[in-house]
């Protein structure tokens, strides 16, 4: 077992939010099958596992990853440095919804506060080109989104209702071509930008 595998196992044992293994495998496979994906923004670094897995797909991939929790930010920065990936993975401390950059990205992996998914999407639209892709995790949230009877926790139910509203909205939003993989990870959606919109940046895209 290499260090990244050990780190991933430790994170899961300590209940640190890391994408489910089949979801991570799907994400990396998607990136591998789209060699035009080179610049990635990740919202929700945790301890750096997903960023390192994505960076490991190809050596031309560079990632900006955002983490609001200072302790996890420090852990992620240390883990990424120890892996020798600091030049390709830049870790930023702060709320993704407040992060400002002029960079344009090929893929956005959104795995931060679930109730804020639409805010993140709208915030980063200015950093897309036509064919940029958003990947959202946890759209099932352990099955509770589609079956609220699985939880009696009020805050969980409030959050899952917001996830469902976002998921339903995303599936019909005309700016995107969306594929929803219900059985992958904890429910993964891939949304590709397909049309212009007010303020659209005419970047050279994929």
pLDDT in tens, the chain (206 residues): 577 777 767 767 676 777 788 899 999 999 999 999 999 999 999 999 999 999 999 999 999 999 999 999 999 999 999 999 999 999 999 999 999 999 999 999 998 888 899 999 999 999 999 899 999 998 998 889 988 899 889 999 999 999 999 999 999 999 999 999 998 988 999 999 997 655 555 544 43
Widest distance between CA atoms in the chain: 49
What's the structural domain count of the chain? 1
202 belongs to a structural domain: no
Q: Is residue 100 a part of any domain in this protein?
A: yes
> Residue 33: phi, psi to the nearest 5?
-80, -5
Inside any domain, residue 118? yes
Give the global pTM: 0.89
What is the DSSP code (8-state) at residue 114?
G
**Domain contains 206:** no
CATH number at residue 177: 3.40.50.150
Q: Is residue 189 part of a domain?
A: yes
* Within-domain flag for 8: yes
In sequence order, the 6+-apart residues with CB closer than 8 A to the CB of 158 are 115
Domain membership flag for residue 148 = yes
Closest CA to 27 of 19, 38, 18, 15: 19
Q: Does residue 200 sit within a domain?
A: no
Structural domain range at position 84: 3-193
The rounded distance, in Å, linking the Cα atoms of 15 and 175 is 35
Q: How far apart are CA 34 and CA 67, in angstroms?
A: 26
């Amino acid at each position: 077992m290499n260090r990244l595998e050990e780190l991933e196992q430790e994170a899961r044992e300590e209940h640190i939010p890391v994408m489910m293994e089949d979801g991570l495998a799907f994400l990396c496979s998607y990136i591998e099958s789209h060699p035009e994906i080179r610049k990635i923004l990740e919202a929700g670094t945790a301890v750096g596992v997903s960023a390192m897995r994505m960076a490991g797909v190809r050596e031309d991939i560079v990632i900006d990853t955002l983490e609001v929790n200072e302790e996890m930010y420090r852990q992620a920065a240390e883990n990424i440095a120890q892996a020798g990936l600091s030049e390709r993975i830049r870790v930023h401390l702060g709320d993704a919804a407040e992060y400002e950059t002029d960079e344009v990205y090929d893929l956005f992996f959104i795995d931060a506060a679930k109730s804020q998914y639409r805010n993140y999407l709208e915030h980063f639209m200015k950093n897309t080109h036509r064919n940029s892709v958003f990947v959202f995790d946890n759209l099932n949230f352990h099955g509770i989104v589609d079956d609220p009877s699985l939880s009696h926790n009020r805050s969980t139910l409030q959050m899952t209702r917001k996830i469902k509203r976002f998921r339903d909205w995303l599936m019909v939003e005309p700016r995107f071509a969306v594929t929803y993989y219900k059985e992958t990870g904890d429910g993964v959606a891939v949304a590709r930008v397909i049309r212009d919109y007010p303020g659209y940046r005419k970047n050279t895209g994929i």
